[in-house]
């Protein structure tokens, strides 16, 4: 016990090489005592946070000390630590720079909950961002950010966002389902080499009144009869398109009957 007391006292007062050596001490009590040392500057604290084996209680301790979290580098190092406590991360997300938030959302070690919250922080900042940053986010931003940029529909951003490798079908469908989806967004999706070939996106485009009629008609032969019938129900699509849907259902029925008759002949 006296030996531990000596180590704790040293941790609170050490400087120079002695302090640097204590950053790698295995005992949580000693590491906690280090946090009270006035000589523990930003550089040394970040070095301490670079330890992947840092005990959770030490991380929680750092996360509650406002004097230690005045430094942006310390905030970032704590947020990115694989053992960072959830509550500390929730508080830190508001203070993290945009591109660091993006990097955080793309880290495989981050929980789904924190990723979604971080993406929400980025999306909330989108209206204030300059065009250059929006294009950068459209290129490599996370899923919900790419989806928000697609829905926003800026001419220089939209095609880049549609090519984003993290953009999902769900986000494209969400953009098409919005009440005020712009014509530019609908047309860009309808002509996109990937999304225009996706079945559920095609269904959403058929439902969308802004979709080009020629494009929609080209989709009809590739839709299932059950989906065609559902779309042809009253009130789903405009009446002129509904007639095309009904005609396609009839064509399929005739083709199916003709094939059945041919197969039944001896």
Beta-carbon count within 10 A of 163 CB:
15
pLDDT digit string (tens) for 88-113?
999 999 999 999 999 999 999 899 99
Radius of gyration from C-alpha coordinates of the chain: 29
- Asked whether the beta carbons of 168 and 141 are under 8 A apart, the reply is no
Of residues 255 and 217, more confidently modeled:
217
pLDDT digit string (tens) for 230-262?
999 998 999 999 999 999 999 998 887 776 656
Q: What is the pLDDT of residue 266?
A: 61
Beta-carbon count within 10 A of 11 CB:
24
pLDDT digit string (tens) for 168-181?
999 999 999 998 88
pLDDT digit string (tens) for 176-196?
999 888 999 999 999 999 999
CA-based end-to-end distance of the chain: 98
- Asked whether the beta carbons of 248 and 228 are under 8 A apart, the reply is yes
Q: What is the pLDDT of residue 7?
A: 87
**pLDDT above 80: residue 2:** no
Average pLDDT, the chain: 93
Query: HSE of 243 in the Cβ direction (CA atoms, 13 Å)?
Result: 3
Residue of 53, 22, 56 lying closest to 37 (CA atoms): 22
Q: What is the pLDDT of residue 259?
A: 65
Average pLDDT over residues 8-21: 92
SS3 44: helix
Query: HSE of 101 in the Cβ direction (CA atoms, 13 Å)?
Result: 25
Q: At 6, is the pLDDT very low, low, confident or very high (cuts 50, 70, 90)?
A: confident
Q: What is the pLDDT of residue 255?
A: 82
Share of the chain above pLDDT 70, in %: 96
Distances (CA, A) of 220 to 161, 191, 203, 215: 27, 16, 9, 9
**pLDDT above 80: residue 42:** yes
């Amino acid at each position: 016990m006296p030996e531990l007391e000596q180590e704790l006292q040293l941790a609170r007062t050490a400087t120079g090489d002695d302090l640097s050596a204590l950053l790698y001490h295995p005992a949580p009590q000693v590491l906690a005592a280090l946090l009270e040392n006035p000589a523990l500057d930003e550089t040394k604290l970040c070095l301490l946070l670079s330890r992947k084996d840092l005990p959770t209680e030490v991380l929680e301790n750092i996360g509650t000390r406002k004097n230690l979290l005045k430094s942006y580098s310390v905030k970032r190092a704590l947020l990115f630590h694989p053992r960072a406590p959830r509550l500390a991360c929730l508080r830190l997300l508001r203070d993290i720079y945009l591109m660091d938030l993006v990097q955080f959302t793309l880290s495989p070690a981050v929980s789904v909950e924190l990723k979604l919250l971080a993406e929400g922080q980025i999306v909330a900042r989108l209206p204030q961002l300059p065009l250059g940053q929006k294009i950068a986010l459209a290129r490599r931003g996370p899923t919900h950010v790419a989806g928000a940029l697609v829905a926003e529909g800026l001419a220089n951003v939209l095609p880049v966002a549609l090519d984003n490798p993290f953009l999902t079908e769900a986000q494209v469908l969400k953009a098409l389902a919005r009440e005020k989806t712009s014509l530019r967004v609908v047309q860009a999706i309808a002509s996109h080499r990937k999304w225009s070939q996706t079945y559920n996106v095609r269904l959403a485009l058929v439902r969308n009144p802004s979709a080009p009629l020629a494009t929609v008609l080209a989709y009809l032969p590739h839709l299932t009869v059950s989906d065609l019938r559902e779309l042809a129900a009253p009130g789903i699509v405009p009446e002129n398109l509904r007639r095309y849907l009904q005609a396609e259902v009839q064509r399929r029925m005739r083709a199916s009957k003709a094939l059945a008759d041919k197969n039944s002949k001896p």
